[in-house]
Amino acid sequence: RKSLELLPNYLTESELYFGAGPIPFEHYLQESFQFELALSMGGGGGALCGDLCFRDIEMFGLGIPLMRPTLIVETSDPLIPDFHYVAVDAEYDAEFRYSNPHELSKRIAKRYHEVIGNKELLEFVKNNAKNWYENNISYPKITYNIIKALNL
Protein backbone atom coordinates (compact mmCIF):
# COMPACT_ATOMS: atom_id res chain seq x y z
CA ARG A 1 0.00 0.00 0.00
CA LYS A 2 2.93 2.32 0.64
CA SER A 3 3.83 2.20 -3.07
CA LEU A 4 0.34 3.46 -3.94
CA GLU A 5 0.65 6.29 -1.43
CA LEU A 6 3.93 7.33 -3.06
CA LEU A 7 2.68 7.28 -6.68
CA PRO A 8 1.53 10.95 -6.63
CA ASN A 9 5.22 11.82 -6.23
CA TYR A 10 5.89 10.33 -9.68
CA LEU A 11 2.66 10.68 -11.65
CA THR A 12 0.48 13.76 -12.12
CA GLU A 13 -3.20 13.95 -11.18
CA SER A 14 -4.13 13.62 -14.85
CA GLU A 15 -2.10 10.39 -15.08
CA LEU A 16 -3.36 8.81 -11.89
CA TYR A 17 -6.86 8.28 -10.57
CA PHE A 18 -7.85 7.05 -7.14
CA GLY A 19 -11.56 6.72 -6.47
CA ALA A 20 -13.06 8.54 -3.52
CA GLY A 21 -13.97 5.34 -1.71
CA PRO A 22 -16.08 2.21 -2.04
CA ILE A 23 -18.67 2.38 -4.81
CA PRO A 24 -21.31 -0.04 -6.10
CA PHE A 25 -19.92 -2.67 -8.47
CA GLU A 26 -21.86 -1.27 -11.45
CA HIS A 27 -20.22 2.13 -10.93
CA TYR A 28 -16.81 0.46 -10.60
CA LEU A 29 -17.36 -1.17 -13.99
CA GLN A 30 -18.49 2.11 -15.57
CA GLU A 31 -15.42 3.91 -14.20
CA SER A 32 -13.10 1.14 -15.34
CA PHE A 33 -14.22 1.42 -18.96
CA GLN A 34 -13.08 5.06 -19.00
CA PHE A 35 -9.40 4.16 -18.63
CA GLU A 36 -6.77 3.17 -21.15
CA LEU A 37 -4.81 1.22 -18.52
CA ALA A 38 -5.62 -0.09 -15.03
CA LEU A 39 -3.15 -0.57 -12.18
CA SER A 40 -3.24 -3.54 -9.84
CA MET A 41 -0.97 -4.17 -6.91
CA GLY A 42 -2.12 -7.74 -6.43
CA GLY A 43 -3.48 -8.41 -2.96
CA GLY A 44 -2.01 -5.16 -1.69
CA GLY A 45 1.43 -5.99 -0.40
CA GLY A 46 2.99 -8.63 -2.56
CA ALA A 47 2.51 -12.37 -2.62
CA LEU A 48 1.96 -12.55 1.14
CA CYS A 49 -1.44 -10.90 0.66
CA GLY A 50 -2.29 -12.84 -2.50
CA ASP A 51 -0.38 -12.02 -5.63
CA LEU A 52 -3.23 -12.48 -8.12
CA CYS A 53 -6.37 -10.59 -7.18
CA PHE A 54 -9.95 -10.00 -8.30
CA ARG A 55 -9.00 -6.73 -10.02
CA ASP A 56 -6.60 -8.61 -12.29
CA ILE A 57 -9.30 -11.08 -13.31
CA GLU A 58 -11.96 -8.36 -13.65
CA MET A 59 -9.78 -6.26 -15.95
CA PHE A 60 -8.93 -9.33 -18.07
CA GLY A 61 -12.63 -10.10 -18.45
CA LEU A 62 -13.57 -6.50 -19.20
CA GLY A 63 -10.82 -6.20 -21.81
CA ILE A 64 -8.98 -3.40 -20.04
CA PRO A 65 -5.17 -3.60 -20.19
CA LEU A 66 -3.65 -4.14 -16.78
CA MET A 67 -0.31 -2.96 -15.40
CA ARG A 68 1.00 -4.62 -12.27
CA PRO A 69 4.13 -5.89 -10.53
CA THR A 70 5.34 -9.07 -12.19
CA LEU A 71 3.41 -12.04 -10.86
CA ILE A 72 5.32 -14.57 -8.81
CA VAL A 73 2.45 -17.03 -8.50
CA GLU A 74 1.97 -19.62 -11.19
CA THR A 75 -1.29 -20.51 -12.86
CA SER A 76 -2.07 -23.73 -14.74
CA ASP A 77 -2.31 -21.65 -17.92
CA PRO A 78 0.62 -19.27 -17.35
CA LEU A 79 0.07 -15.52 -17.21
CA ILE A 80 2.98 -14.08 -19.15
CA PRO A 81 4.46 -10.64 -18.35
CA ASP A 82 4.04 -8.12 -21.18
CA PHE A 83 1.77 -10.59 -22.96
CA HIS A 84 -1.23 -10.86 -20.62
CA TYR A 85 -0.41 -7.78 -18.53
CA VAL A 86 2.05 -4.88 -18.58
CA ALA A 87 4.73 -5.95 -16.14
CA VAL A 88 6.58 -3.82 -13.60
CA ASP A 89 9.66 -5.36 -11.99
CA ALA A 90 9.25 -5.73 -8.23
CA GLU A 91 11.53 -6.90 -5.46
CA TYR A 92 10.28 -8.85 -2.46
CA ASP A 93 11.45 -9.22 1.11
CA ALA A 94 11.74 -12.55 2.96
CA GLU A 95 7.99 -12.50 3.64
CA PHE A 96 7.14 -11.86 -0.04
CA ARG A 97 6.05 -8.27 0.48
CA TYR A 98 7.23 -5.51 -1.83
CA SER A 99 10.60 -4.64 -0.33
CA ASN A 100 11.14 -1.08 -1.55
CA PRO A 101 7.95 0.97 -1.96
CA HIS A 102 9.80 4.06 -3.24
CA GLU A 103 11.57 2.10 -5.96
CA LEU A 104 8.41 0.24 -6.94
CA SER A 105 6.51 3.54 -7.26
CA LYS A 106 9.25 4.92 -9.50
CA ARG A 107 9.17 1.77 -11.64
CA ILE A 108 5.38 1.96 -11.96
CA ALA A 109 5.59 5.58 -13.12
CA LYS A 110 8.43 4.80 -15.54
CA ARG A 111 6.59 1.83 -17.02
CA TYR A 112 3.38 3.87 -17.28
CA HIS A 113 5.19 6.52 -19.32
CA GLU A 114 6.71 3.83 -21.55
CA VAL A 115 3.36 2.25 -22.47
CA ILE A 116 0.50 4.71 -22.03
CA GLY A 117 0.46 6.02 -25.59
CA ASN A 118 1.33 2.69 -27.21
CA LYS A 119 -2.08 1.65 -28.49
CA GLU A 120 -0.65 -1.35 -30.35
CA LEU A 121 0.95 -2.79 -27.20
CA LEU A 122 -2.11 -2.11 -25.04
CA GLU A 123 -4.40 -3.73 -27.62
CA PHE A 124 -2.06 -6.75 -27.79
CA VAL A 125 -2.05 -7.13 -23.99
CA LYS A 126 -5.80 -6.57 -23.75
CA ASN A 127 -6.59 -9.20 -26.37
CA ASN A 128 -4.27 -11.79 -24.83
CA ALA A 129 -5.68 -11.19 -21.35
CA LYS A 130 -9.26 -11.38 -22.62
CA ASN A 131 -8.47 -14.70 -24.35
CA TRP A 132 -6.88 -16.01 -21.14
CA TYR A 133 -10.01 -15.01 -19.22
CA GLU A 134 -12.31 -16.69 -21.73
CA ASN A 135 -10.22 -19.89 -21.70
CA ASN A 136 -9.78 -20.11 -17.94
CA ILE A 137 -12.42 -18.16 -16.03
CA SER A 138 -15.55 -17.84 -18.17
CA TYR A 139 -18.35 -20.37 -17.79
CA PRO A 140 -18.41 -23.26 -18.66
CA LYS A 141 -14.64 -23.43 -19.20
CA ILE A 142 -13.90 -22.75 -15.54
CA THR A 143 -15.94 -25.82 -14.60
CA TYR A 144 -14.10 -28.00 -17.12
CA ASN A 145 -10.74 -26.64 -15.91
CA ILE A 146 -11.57 -27.48 -12.29
CA ILE A 147 -12.72 -30.99 -13.22
CA LYS A 148 -9.53 -31.51 -15.23
CA ALA A 149 -7.29 -30.15 -12.44
CA LEU A 150 -8.93 -32.46 -9.88
CA ASN A 151 -8.79 -35.45 -12.25
CA LEU A 152 -12.53 -36.05 -11.84
Q: What is the pLDDT of residue 19?
A: 80
Per-residue confidence (pLDDT) for residue 3, from 0 to 100? 86
For position 42, what pLDDT does the model report? Answer: 73
Task: Give the C-alpha separation, 88 to 71, whole Å.
Answer: 9
pLDDT value of position 104: 93
pLDDT (average), residues 42-71: 82
Q: What is the pLDDT of residues 85-120, one digit of tens each?
A: 999 998 887 777 778 889 999 999 999 999 999 999
pLDDT, tens only, 18-51 = 887 889 999 999 999 999 999 998 755 555 556 7
> Backbone phi, then psi, for 39, in 5-degree steps?
-110, 135
Taking CA atoms, 77 is separated from 29, 134, 135, in Å, by 26, 12, 9
